[in-house]
Chains A and B, each alone.
Chain A
């Protein structure tokens, strides 16, 4: 019997009971769509994180207080302060600190020729901004020098950035992120410019609005304010240690050299060695590695969970095929009586299972493309071609695998028994 003939018989089998075939396909469709969508969400999250990190620049380094031998750094520069923690089993417990003097020492062109910019970073926690009755708890409050804007690729879209003289004179001037601006004055937030707002009761003048950086999914990068470190220390954070020091290397190629220079200078100042260092230097490559490891694991985990639903869909196919074989026992008997061989019957029912799973797979792919047009949690899911191929291939394999048992069962029916079956 020819293949097209077998395909015709199989197709007739699929269309004989449309509702049941559709429901069976739905199981496979959901499985395939789940794999593709979840992998796409994982990939989208990964891309979003990577984009965020890339926007920081590939040649930036961050010095945070405390040792961090694990390599996974979450205190990303202007975040809520570096992770504390002691330096372990040293003879003396060292207070982990970075000072303004440390930052100044790094700006030494002789000892640190590969460092382009250095900016001390001061963070203040739980700062509430108020303006004429409007109140907003700011996500991130950062105090630094004007070079911080350069290092961070930050631009001021409205108004002006603060200057070195603002820093030196402890001016209470302020740059706000778009989110903060909108929260305080509504609309597009531009009206906040030149307003005097209160930060925890202290008056600051808004001199500029920062460019929108978008959301990274977890954190709103635009919910922030930026002021001269001196003013932040005076009024919000208190005197003391820096949260971190942001450094920009002269180029992406000198990042490693820059890291070595920073470590040498700070080791000398802190009287530490690589064994008992009380600070950590992270570069963006380290962040990227850590982030992609995490998102990669996450994606695989999501995909595996989705794979289970695909497996369940496959079992649905097998279940329906077994029902079909039982229902069509008599037909199988007739076919065998008039000359169908085992191979003919096996082929027909296998093909029927494969048609169900492949159509389900195609529907799943189309469905996942539709779903991935929607923005989820602030980022767009990115469909990975490999996940489409994988899910489709898996659906096909599921059809073949779960079709084998019902098909061989059909083929091994004795015609005399099958004909007698009512």
Chain B
């Protein structure tokens, strides 16, 4: 998608999303009326303390959980109308997940892990291998393809997970606390990788509670009690991410 002409259709189009748990007195409004548009090529951080509803947002955006009310169009598709299996397919084609705990398949090589989304997408063996190797190359792990997750450091595991997320060329990369389990060195590596991915036009949404992680994004949303309470843009959608755009790291607060 590098330099490709971008569709005017937003990647994420949330309208008045509510998500409640429980009933009556015990009702919990995890997400309480959120509307959000994320355009192609944007790099968005969603910040908030625990309990602010950002994890629920992540689940809804990632099509892992449905909203109670409101509409969600992912790359133009109304996901509310989809069945379990169709949601699997949507996740497979449109979203690349990066989790806090990496979530690689145990006892399986880096290469097989990266091939997995392509395998479920029905890509044939040789093509799959070629693309998986390219993705591992992108994250700088071309020399670790045959290592299992037990043989990789945390930072390396997260880079394998990023390779797995980008291998299917999804419209959205969705990261949930991607640096939460990493040391500062690995954190820097992963964030640098995100900058590069953003620079080549990928759309990223990063959920985090760390300000220095959020500072790398083009746009920062703050959530509190299930609502978006602040929406700050540091650089335009089309430009490079702040760090690469010339050291403008300040985030209005």
Interface residues of A (CB under 8 A from B): 1-2, 5, 12, 16, 330-331, 333-344, 414-416, 419
Known: A1-B120, A335-B116, A416-B65. A341 touches B88 (CB 8 A): yes
Contact A340 to B88, CB < 8 A, known contacts A1-B119, A5-B119, A416-B64: yes
Residues of A within 8 A of B85 (CB): 341-343
> Closest CB of chain A to B46's CB: distance in Å?
17
- By a CB distance below 8 angstroms, the chain A residues around B88 are 336, 339-342
Smallest CB separation, A298 vs chain B (Å): 49
**A residues in contact with B164, CB < 8 Å:** 338
Q: How far is the CB of A242 from chain B (nearest CB, A)?
A: 80
- Counting from the closest, the 9 A-B pairs by CB-CB distance are A339-B92, A339-B120, A416-B64, A341-B85, A334-B103, A341-B88, A338-B117, A416-B65, A5-B119
**Chain A residues closer than 8 Å to B91, beta-carbon distance:** 337-339
Task: Tell me the bound Cα distance from A97 to B117 in angstroms.
Answer: 90
Q: How far is the CB of B165 from chain A (nearest CB, A)?
A: 8
Q: Are the C-beta atoms of A330 and B120 separated by less than 8 Å? A: no
Given contacts A337-B97, A339-B89, 14 further A-B contacts (CB under 8 A): A2-B119, A5-B119, A334-B103, A334-B105, A335-B116, A337-B64, A337-B103, A338-B92, A339-B93, A340-B120, A341-B88, A341-B120, A342-B85, A416-B64
**Separation of A415 and B66 alpha carbons in the complex (Å):** 12
Complex formed: what's the CA distance from A12 to B99 in Å?
23
A330-B99 Cα distance, complex, nearest whole Å: 12
Q: Interface on chain A toward B: helix, strand, loop, or mixed SS?
A: helix
Q: Which residues in A have their C-beta under 8 angstroms from that of B50?
A: none
A342 touches B103 (CB 8 A): no
Size category of the B interface is: 20 to 34
Smallest CB gap from B102: residue in A: A334
> If A1-B119, A338-B164, A339-B88 touch, does A331 touch B62 (CB 8 Å cutoff)?
no
Q: Using Cβ atoms and an 8 Å threshold, which residues of chain A touch B2?
A: none
B contact residues vs A (CB 8 Å cutoff): 59, 62, 64-65, 84-85, 88-89, 91-93, 97, 99, 103-108, 116-117, 119-122, 164, 168
Closest B residue to A337 by beta carbon equals B97
Complex Cα distance, B106 from A333, in Å, reads 13
In the assembled complex, which residues on chain B have CB atoms less than 8 Å from the CB atom of A334? 103-105
Residues of B within 8 A of A1 (CB): 119-120, 122
- In the bound assembly, the distance between CA atoms of A331 and B99 in angstroms comes to 13
Does A337 lie within 8 Å of B119, measured CB to CB?
no
Instruction: Give chain B nearest CB distance to A335 CB in angstroms.
Output: 7
How many Å lie between the Cα of A5 and that of B105 in the bound state? 15
CB-based contact A330/B103 at 8 Å: yes
Name the residue on A nearest B88 (C-beta).
A341
Among A5, A333, A339, A416, the most chain B Cβ lie within 10 Å of the Cβ of A339
Selected contact of B105 from candidates A331, A339, A343, A415, CB within 8 Å: A331
In the assembled complex, the Cα of A349 lies from the Cα of B117 at a distance in Å of: 18
| A residues less than 8 Å from B104 (CB atoms) | 334
Could you show 16 A-B contacts with beta carbons less than 8 Å apart?
A1-B120, A12-B108, A331-B106, A334-B103, A335-B120, A338-B92, A338-B117, A339-B121, A340-B120, A341-B85, A341-B88, A341-B120, A344-B120, A414-B64, A416-B59, A419-B99
Point out which of A331, A336, A338, A340 has the most chain B C-beta atoms below 10 A from its C-beta.
A338
Tell me the complex Cα distance, A143–B178, Å.
99
**What B residues does A335 contact at CB under 8 A?**
105, 116, 120
